[in-house]
Structure 1
Amino acid sequence: MAHTTTFGVEFEFCLATLPEGACDPEPYDARQVYTISDTIAVNNGMQSLNILDPILRRHYKERLQNDILQRHIADTLISAGFSAITDEDVRRQYNEALLSGPEPVHYKSWNITTDSSIRVPGEDGTAGVAEYEWCKVEVISPVLTYTPQAIRQVQKVCKLISRRYRILTNEWCGLHVHVGQGSKGLPDYAVKNLAAMIWAFEDRLDLLHPLYRSNDAACNSLYNSAPLSREDNFETDQPLLLIEQIDRILECKTGDQVISLVNDECPSYGSAYNFWNLLSQHSQSSKRTIEFRQHEGTLEAKRVENWIKVCVHLVEFALQIQPDCMGEFLRSVVDEEEYTVEDMLLSIGLPRQVKYYGKALGTKS
């Protein structure tokens, strides 16, 4: 059956700014650091709000600062031909909708926002460049149809931001990739296949990422967090073997049953592989995707491209094969020590990624 694969990306990073008049600690770095934030505008805004409560003052000051910063990044993307919105735009759209306006359209533009889970230098135990005022930024793509043109669009945004601004990504930043079929989600058989593949290959997929992203608090391993990992064989009272766990997934009748085995939070934002948006109860949601959360934060265009392709091809492979054939395939390779991550990439149709990740892994591929 023909299907159209869609994807989206979320970039998390720290962005350096300086108030006007402050001495630039890295004057030979041509990337912009002044006029991104506006201290005078923030102070004027706070005076006009006339808020006395210290907690509310801090909240609104942060919001004003983020609004100005986000507008600067959005204008950078808009000037390059992209559609981009900020948190301020989203608030306005919702307020207009409350007054009988049109419902806000989600994931149609690049969304410049923030993520409080990011820790900037000084918060994360590293000094960074002390003179900078670091800001937490998240950039979320629109829903994109998986095409070479869409990949180039993502790469262009990566290059625009990293060449225009002084940014860094630390251990608190992630690159998240969502994959689905627009608003249709994934059929039950594909959810079973995908979960079974990820369960079988999670240890191999781990090798494509730094050690600190393996079972991190923001991207917990399914092996350690999923309800299935705690199930025992009722006959032997021993933990299920890996192949038995895969069979448990493939025996499920519905995608919801699969998700109850592999994700145990609501929603599962702490899992390396978050299936929660594929639950049937979210059938009216505009975000019917699996979220791949394990990759470390980066705006390096080549790294982003290759990980997107891995995520998409895992989903497309799950869509192409019926569960009985998937079971036969996984049983034939899951316990084979010689079946490497490169073999897995070849199995899902990614010979170029074998070469790319082979170099990263230091193999001969």
Structure 2
Amino acid sequence: MLSFLDLRKKFLQKSLQTQSSFGVELEFLVAVRSDSDNMVRFVPEELAGQPGQAILIPEEKNNLWERDTYCINHVQATLDSCLGNLSAKTRVFVPNELSTPEEGYLHEDYEYWTAKQDASIGLPDKLFSSGEYLGHQWAGIEVTSPALWNENESFDEIRKVCEVLKARYWILTPPTCGLHVHYGHGQDQIAVQDLRNIAALLLAADPLLVQLHPESRKRNRFCVSNRLFSDVAQGLSAETATAMLMHDSVSSEGEEAPQKVMRPLQGSKLLSRSSWRSFNRLIPQGTLTSYPVGEPGSKLKCPGNAAARLHAPRSILGCVEEILSATQPEVVARLMQAPPNTSSKPAYSFANYDQQQPFPNSNSEIKKTVEFRQAAGTVDADEIITFAKLAIGLADFACSSDLDTFWSVILKCAQADANTTAQGKDKTTSYDVFNFLADIGLCRLIRPLQNIVIKKHPTVQESQSK
């Protein structure tokens, strides 16, 4: 007899009519020292007891560009050596199996684990004056996975990469680092009806999902709130976005908009219903915080442009209605993008579906994914795998759930957001992220996510000790 999880996976695959795929991007700092430096150095507290060590740079490679290039090549060689014999079963794009050399070149970035430079990562200012960090240099590295199928072997591969990196290097993941997860449907583009469902769910649940992340990710210009700062939240309509695209000569084939089913909120009765599956709560209700809540009617300050003052966002139901009215993937992408007059990026990016963005991704025709950007940087395999499964679970639910279930969840998110705004608090006491995850059938992720939150959030640790 099939287990519940096997039955659910079978149902999802049948409903989606395509297998889900994903990829991860890991950002971190790696310690670097000159091979001629024989001085005894302090070991940073975060690295005490770790088996790795600093990369020793040849003395002649003394400028920044040469140092970073050496580090990237060093990490790449480590990845290549540990992954040489892995099965191609995990790969969306299997090396050496593409029909033309041109296809092979275009897909190259998505066939292998790749190390790159990331100049956006640095030590926090307070650590520059700390004695235990002096004498070490730190190179910003981004390791990207290939496009992987949603299979156990893919998660085993991630675990192996993390183990090898931690065994070989001294690694730090300061607040400037992020963990990004890409969700897709293999080599196929996500159908517009699925894309708009994913966007609608993520915008509605954004104030709840952010409860899983540390404060450094809540006011961060690299993952600003879609619910607060996206173009649709700031008033852009699907009709206007479509007209803008027509003016820009975008001519992708559209889909018929779904029938608009806007149901009235049910007040406290809606949020008092028990989730359809129970779970063991480790974190007391009302402990977790969402985005900072300003004064009612006040202008919003968007991370990435201190001078920008944005309007209070339209309601979640208003945003969802506009998103579900979109008939082209480019329109969905426009509605979900961060404000154009800032240097911000959204927590949930659909930019790969907008070829008319100011700086389009040259590989967007290949990289047909939605990017989840809000998780904090880590090289802990359990954390990476949990957030990857969360992204897959959220998107799969949006693509496969029936209309009644989908709207029930949207309405609960909207009511929780309305309650928080009305109370002027950044906490939701009656319905939090774990209630939401139970409602969409992701109970299996609640325990590992609670463990991550307890480990990373000082305020939650304090509540646990009381």
**Residues 13, 24 of structure 1: CA spacing in aligned structure 2 closer, same or farther, 3 A cutoff?**
farther
Q: 2:160 matched to which residue of 1?
A: 156
- The aligned counterpart of 1:352 is 444
1:201 is matched with: 205
Count residues with an aligned counterpart.
Answer: 329
Q: What percent of counterpart residues are identical?
A: 25
Distance 2:380 2:317 in 1: 37
Compute the TM-score of the two structures, normalised by the length of structure 1.
0.79
Corresponding residue to 1:343 among 418, 435, 438? 435
Show the counterpart of 1:94: none
3-state SS of the aligned residue for 2:370?
A: strand
After TM superposition, give the deviation of residue 193 of structure 1 in Å. 0.9
Q: Measure how far apart 1:151 and its partner are.
A: 0.8
Within 5 Å, give how 1:32-111 maps onto structure 2: 32-33=52-53, 36-40=56-60, 42=61, 61-82=63-84, 103=105, 105-111=108-114
Whether 2:41 is the aligned partner of 1:25: answer yes
Equivalent pair of 2:155/2:385 in contact (CA under 8 Å): yes
Query: Equivalences for 1:198-277 in 2 at 5 Å?
Result: 198-231=202-235, 240-264=314-338, 270-277=345-352
The TM-score, its normalising length taken from structure 2, stands at 0.63
Looking at structure 2, the residues matched to 196 and 324 of structure 1 have their Cα atoms a distance apart, in angstroms, of 15
User: Does the aligned pair in 1 maintain the 2:29–2:141 contact within 8 Å?
Assistant: yes
Give deviations 1:93-112, integer Å, cap 9, x for gaps: xxxxxxx9973523111111
Change (3 A) 1:124 1:248: farther
**Counterparts of 1:82 and 1:255 in 2: how far apart (Å)?**
37
Other-structure match for 1:303 = 383
Q: Deviations over 1:318-363 (max 9, x none)?
A: 2213667633541255314633211221233321211222343559
Which residue of 1 is the match for residue 241 of structure 2?
A: none
- Alignment of 1:141 with 2:216, yes or no, is no
For structure 2, list consecutive stretches of 5 or more residues without a partner in the other structure: 1-14, 87-101, 238-310, 417-427, 455-459
Residues 137-161 of structure 1, C-alpha deviation per residue, up to 9 Å, x if partnerless? 1111111111111011111111211
- Indicate whether 1:9 and 2:24 are aligned: yes
Equivalent residue, structure 2, for 1:175: 179
CA distance in 1, matches of 2:186, 2:445: 25
Give the superposition deviation at 1:274: 0.6
Deviation at 1:296, TM superposition (A): 0.8
Structure 2 residue identity aligned to 1:351: C
Partner amino acid for 1:279? D
CA contact (8 A) 1:193 1:323 kept: no
Q: Check the 8 A contact 1:189/1:322 in 2, yes or no.
A: no
Q: Is the 8 A contact 1:180 1:290 kept in 2?
A: yes
Q: 1:187-225, CA deviations, whole angstroms, 9 ceiling, x for partnerless residues?
A: 111111111111111111010000120131111111332
Cα–Cα, structure 1 residues 83 and 116, in superposed 2: closer, same or farther, change >3 Å?
farther
- Alignment correspondent of 1:47: none
Q: Distance in 1 between matches of 2:224 and 2:204?
A: 16
Offset of residue 239 of structure 1: 6.0
